[in-house]
Structures are given as structure tokens and as C-alpha cells.
Structure 1
Amino acid sequence: MDLDKPPAPPPPPEGCLTVAIRLPVRIVVLVLVLPVRMAWDALVVCGRFLRDTVLRPVGRALLWAGWALLVWPWATLWRHVLVPLGKALGRLGHVLVVVPLHWLYARVLTPVGHALARVARAAGTGLAWLYARVLTPVGRAVARSLEFAGRLLAAAGAGVWAGVVGLVRHLVVAPARVLYAWVLAPAGRALAWCAGAVVTGVGAALYWTARVLLVLPAVALWRRVLAPAGRILAVVAREVGEALGHAWRVAGRVSRAVGRVVATLFRWIFVEPLRRVYRTVLVPVGHVVRDLALRPAARAARAVGRTARQALDGARETLRQARADLRRVLLGESRPRTAVDRREPTGRGTRTLGSSTTALTKD
């Protein structure tokens, strides 16, 4: 698939201005960026060391202290005080409020509600009979009377409206149509044509005036001054940006090299001598101290502990025998225990996984 792809287009050729600007800009930017990058790398190293050695332990200590001072007391208060108190109040409220209200609802309000429902049902039945037997016939008669009167008024109103419409048509509408068709319409067309001619002439004059005084100078300024200056500034800005990136990367490599050199010098000056001192001086001294002082002291401590345990065991056994003798003197000899047949073999005939002690399968 890669062989079928068309080759990438070649980069556009660079002008002499770009080549002339690139090298000085990169040198100046590298000189300016290198101290900043080295200071930044030093701050990063210090920040990581401070984070690993100070901030994280302090943060863990503050987290533990906050949990011990804030979370744990409130959790203990909630679990051991508020929850039992809430349960007790809930039970008390159930006994003092819910049970009396339930009894009041079941014994008082429900019978009263049933009685009121029956009274309302009886009243509704009476009102329904009154509506069906009295109010409905009266309403129908009144509706018929109103309908007849409405028809009479509608007929009279239709006649009056027809007369008024005829008068308005002959006295107002017809003269207005004649006036609009023969006077207002021709006058309006003449005024519109005059206004259009005036506006067209004024617009053409203003257009050419603005074009000559504003547009043509602006276009010339853009083409001859602003566009070339913008291209030059764009080239300079692009080269400065690329120079900053290149200088930042180069400064990072220089900073890492300097850091390796400093770390190597620190290891040669401090770490290696300290390690050699530890291996050649402290380790043999520690072995000598361990063999001559610590191990004999540990053996003596173990012997003392063994002697103390033996003495305690002897004292405990003597106390046990004295207690048994006192019980025997005060209470007499205890009766021997009678053996109980638990159907289990004893001695060499005990039951194991590889053998059986039953009568049918005994070896």
C-alpha cells in the first residue's frame, strides 16, 4: 500500500530573505533561551526533590491529621450517638404520634366520613331530582323564548345592515375609487419617477466620489505597502517561532549535559568517598562491634530469659501442686472418673484413613 501512494510534494523554495534572517535569529534566540532553559530545568529538579521529600510526607501527615481530627470524631458521633438517638426518636414518634393518629383515623374520622358521604349522597339525589323535574323544563322554555327573540332581532339587524352598506357603497366607496384611479395614482407614479431619478444621480455621484477618494488610495496602500510589510513580518515571526523551538530543544540538550556533568562530579566528590568509607571503615567496625558486643549481649539476654521462664514455670508448677493439696485437704479425694464407651478405638487400633476398625472390614 505504501508503494502505491504518490510521493510527497517537495517543500516550497525559500527566499533569500528567509535564509538571511534564519541564522542570526537562531543564534540570538539560543543565547537568550539557554539561561532560561537551564534555570527552568534546575527549578524542575528542585521542585521534584521538594515534592518527593517534603510535600508528599507533609501532605500525608496533614491528611492523616485531618482524618483523625475531623472525619473520625464526626463518624464516631454519627455512628454511636446520632444514629441511636434518631432510632429512639423515631420509635418515640411512632408511639406518640403515628399510633394515636391511626387510632383517630380508624375510630373517629372514618365513621364521620362515612356518615357525611351518606348525607352528601342523599343531598345529591334530591338535587338531581330537582334538576331533572323542575329546572330542566323551565330552562328549556326560557331557551326557546330567547331563541325566538334572537331570530326576530337578527332579521331586523340584517335589514338595517343591508341599508347602511348600500349607502356607504354609493356615497363613499365609488367616489374614493374614482379619486384614486384618476388623481392619486398618476400623481404618485410621477413623484416616484422623479424621486428615483434624483436618488440614482446622487448615488452615482457619491459612489464615484468615494471610489476616487477612499477605495483607490486604500487599495494602493494595501497592495504597495501593507501586503509586502505583512509578508516580511510573517517571515520574521515564523523564523522567530522556529528559532525559539530549536533553541529550546538545543538548550534542553545542553542543560541535560550540564546536569549529567554536575551529577558525575557530585558522585565522584561526595558519593564515591562516602561509599568507600562505608565499605572500608564502617562495615568492618560494625562487624567487630556485632561480634564482640551485640552477639554476646544477645546470648546473655536469651540465657537470662530462659532462666526466668524456667523459674516462672517451676513457681507455677509449685503453686498448682499447693492448690491441689489444699483442695484435697479441704474437700477430700475426688472420685475417679468412669470411662465412657464412645464406640471409638483406643491405643494402636485408632481409626485412620488407610484402615478401618469396623467388624466387617478390619484388617
Structure 2
Amino acid sequence: MDLEKAPPRREPEGCLVVAIRIPVRIVVLLLVVPVRMVWDALVVGGRFLRDVVLRPLGRALFVWPFVALWRYVLVPLGRALAWLGNVLFVVPLVWLYRYVLTPLGHGIAAALRWLYARVLAPAGRAVMWVLRGIGVVLAAAGLGVLAALAWLGRYLLAALTWLGRYLLVVPGVWLYTWILAPVGRAIAWTVQMVATGIGLGIYWTLRVLFVLPAVGLYRWVLAPVGRVLAVIGREVGEAVGHAWRVAGHISRAVGRFLGTLLRWILVEPVRWVYRTVLTPVGHVVRDLVLRPAAQAARAVGRATRQALASVRESARQTRADIRRMLFGEPEQREKVARREPQARETRTLGSSTTALTKD
């Protein structure tokens, strides 16, 4: 079994198709190549604009503000409203349903069951018993009257049926069978013959005046012109598709050539200058200028901090000497034993250091 897909069969082509195909493809290729190159340039520019400008701008203007609004405003606000609604509505309604409405409903249901079982059901049974008795009495009284009326109605209906049959049905059937049906058939045959003759005349008139010229016009003029136009349209469509694909390859090759040219003209010289000139110069500047300057700045900073520390210490000593000259020596406070454990002594319950167990 052949699993490969067979190529589509094509009808044999004439010399007209071959003669049309080559010029059409050449002309279409010359027209499509600039359009495809412009299209590819616009696509590349559009992708660059989308990735570099529009997408970051859209995120900055639309996505991030809405995300921040949702995350830091709407979500906390929704949670706060949900908690407030739960506290103000749900919890009171649940409490009202559970502890007020449910016991009240159970009590009303029990009262209605008692009322139905003890009052309404016995009363209904009594009323039905009374009505059943009244019905039995009335049925016994009216049974004779109904029997007499039924006998009289049976004979009256038989008499009316006999009169209606012989006064209406039999004459109507005779009139339909021997008069109306033959007259109707004759009228229908006459109308059918007249309509058939008129229809045949109109049919042949329309056929001769319109159908035969239209068929001839379609068969000998429109169909050949349509076939030629279909061939031309098909060839133009195939030529446009083929030219579009060829123009894509050409545009890709031109783009690669321009990219390579731009790389060798601009990118590679800039890279060479950066790698060969700027990088060594930067290293030299870093090693000979920036690092010594940074070390000198750090040394100046250390010296400045030491000088400021010595100045602060001198000022502190001066304030202490002036305070000692004016107010004398400060009183020494007595040291209080804190009962702290020694360095190698473990704590026990008797040697606690909490504020409540201090001496």
C-alpha cells in the first residue's frame, strides 16, 4: 500500500496557457518585488517598534497602573467590603434565621398540624357525611323522572332522524350525483384545455424570444470568454503567489546583504575600536588614575574621620574638665550585687536573676 500522497493531477495545458504564463510571471515579478521589499521593511520596523517602544510603553501606561490598582486598591477594598458585609449582614441574618425564624417556623408548623388533625379534618369528614346523605336522597327521588325523560327522548330522536334522512340527505345526494358532479367535470375540462393552450403559446413565445437567444449567447460567447478569463485569472493568481515567494527570497537576501554590509561598515569597526583602543585606554585610566584617586579619597576620608574623632574627644574632655571645675567631682554610686552567676557556674532555682527574685 502506497502511503505517500500522490501529486495532484493537472489537466493538459494548451499553447495559449503557456504563452500567457511567462510574460505574466515576468511582469508580476517586476511589480511584486518592490512591494515585497517595502512590506518586509515595514514588518521589521513594526516588530522593532512593537518590541522596543509600544510594548514597554503599553506596560508602563496600562498594565502596571491597572495591576497596581487591582493589587493595592481593589483587592484590599474588596476584602474590607466582604468582611464588613459579613459582619453587618451575613452574621445577623444567620443568627436571626437560626435562633428566631427557625423556632418560630417550627412552632407555627406544629400549630397548623394540630389544627388540621384536631379541627379541620373532623369538620371536613362531618360535612362530607352530610353531603353524601343528601346526594343519596336526591338520587333516589330523581331516578324515576330521568328514566321517563330518557324513554321519551329516544323515540323523539328516532322520528327526527327518519325525517331528516328522507327530506334532506336523499335529495341532496341525488342532486350532487346527477347534476352538480357532471356540470363541474365539464367546466373543469374546459378550463384545463383553455389553460393548456394558453400556457403552450406563452411557453413557445418565451422560448423563441428569450431562452434560445440566451442559450446561444452563453454557449458561443460568454462561456469561451469566461474560460479565457478564468485561465488568465488563474495564471495571474499563480504568478502573484510565485512572485511573492520569489520576492520574499530576494528581499531576505537583500536584507542579509544590507545587514552584513552594516555590520562590516559600522558594527565591526566600532567593536574593533572598543576592543583595541577604548578597553586598553580604560584599563590604563582605571589603573593609573581612578584607583589611585579612590585610594587617596579613602585615605583622606580616614584621616578626616580620625581628626573629627580626636576633635570630638578633645571637646568631650574639655566639657568634663569645665564641669569638674564648676561643680566638683560627681558622687560615686555604690555597686549593687546582682547575684549573677559566675563564668563557669550553672544557674539553679536558688540563683535566679529575674527582677522578682533579686535581693
Measure, in 2, the Cα distance between the counterparts of 1:335 and 1:216: 130
Q: Hey, what does 1:89 align to over in structure 2? A: 88
Residue 290 (structure 1) aligned with residue 289 (structure 2): no
Q: Hey, what does 1:77 align to over in structure 2? A: 77
Residue 210 (structure 1) aligned with residue 206 (structure 2): yes
1:281 Cα deviation (Å)?
1.6
Residue by residue, what CA displacement relative to the aligned partner does 1:208-241 show, whole Å, maximum 9, x if unpaired? 2222222221211111101101101100100110
Q: Which letter maps to 1:330?
A: K
Aligned to 2:51, what secondary structure does the other structure show? Answer: helix
Pair 295,70 (structure 1): closer, same or farther in 2 beyond 3 Å: same
Residue by residue, what CA displacement relative to the aligned partner does 1:243-299 show, whole Å, maximum 9, x if unpaired? 111111121122112212221221122112211110122101111122224444566
What are the within-5 Å matches in structure 2 for residues 51-130 of structure 1? 51-62=50-61, 63-79=63-79, 81-90=80-89, 93=92, 98=96, 102-103=99-100, 106=103, 114-115=110-111, 117-130=113-126
Pair 115,17 (structure 1): closer, same or farther in 2 beyond 3 Å: closer
Q: Which letter maps to 2:247?
A: A
Residue 330 (structure 1) aligned with residue 327 (structure 2): no
Q: Hey, what does 1:28 align to over in structure 2? A: 27
Q: Hey, what does 2:177 align to over in structure 1? A: 181
Measure, in 1, the Cα distance between the counterparts of 2:250 and 2:144: 111
1:148 Cα deviation (Å)?
4.3
Pair 341,29 (structure 1): closer, same or farther in 2 beyond 3 Å: same
Q: Which letter maps to 1:47?
A: G
Measure, in 2, the Cα distance between the counterparts of 1:103 and 1:154: 66
Q: Hey, what does 2:48 align to over in structure 1? A: 49
Q: Which letter maps to 2:245?
A: R
Q: Which letter maps to 1:78?
A: G
Q: Which letter maps to 2:136?
A: R
Matched residues, number:
323
Structure 2 unaligned blocks of 5 or more:
310-331, 349-359
Aligned to 2:335, what secondary structure does the other structure show? Answer: helix
Measure, in 1, the Cα distance between the counterparts of 2:112 and 2:148: 50
Measure, in 2, the Cα distance between the counterparts of 1:192 and 1:223: 42
Measure, in 2, the Cα distance between the counterparts of 1:120 and 1:333: 87
Measure, in 2, the Cα distance between the counterparts of 1:8 and 1:41: 32
Residue by residue, what CA displacement relative to the aligned partner does 1:307-362 show, whole Å, maximum 9, x if unpaired? 98xxx9xxxxxxxxxxxxxx9953137454474599xxxxxxxxxxxxxxxxxxxx
1:166 Cα deviation (Å)?
0.9
Q: Hey, what does 1:270 align to over in structure 2? A: 266
1:70 Cα deviation (Å)?
4.5
1:31 Cα deviation (Å)?
2.2
Q: Hey, what does 1:154 align to over in structure 2? A: 150
Paired residues of 2:341 and 2:347 also in contact (CA < 8 A): no
Q: Hey, what does 1:317 align to over in structure 2? A: none
Pair 148,215 (structure 1): closer, same or farther in 2 beyond 3 Å: farther
Q: Which letter maps to 1:98?
A: L
Measure, in 2, the Cα distance between the counterparts of 1:241 and 1:140: 98
1:113 Cα deviation (Å)?
5.6
Q: Hey, what does 1:226 align to over in structure 2? A: 222
Structure 1 unaligned blocks of 5 or more:
313-326, 343-363
1:195 Cα deviation (Å)?
2.3
Measure, in 1, the Cα distance between the counterparts of 2:199 and 2:31: 59
Q: 1:171 aligns with which of 133, 155, 167?
A: 167
Measure, in 2, the Cα distance between the counterparts of 1:86 and 1:116: 36
Pair 184,287 (structure 1): closer, same or farther in 2 beyond 3 Å: same
Residue 38 (structure 1) aligned with residue 49 (structure 2): no
> Identity percentage over the alignment?
52
1:6 Cα deviation (Å)?
11
Deviates more, 1:269-278 or 1:132-141: 132-141
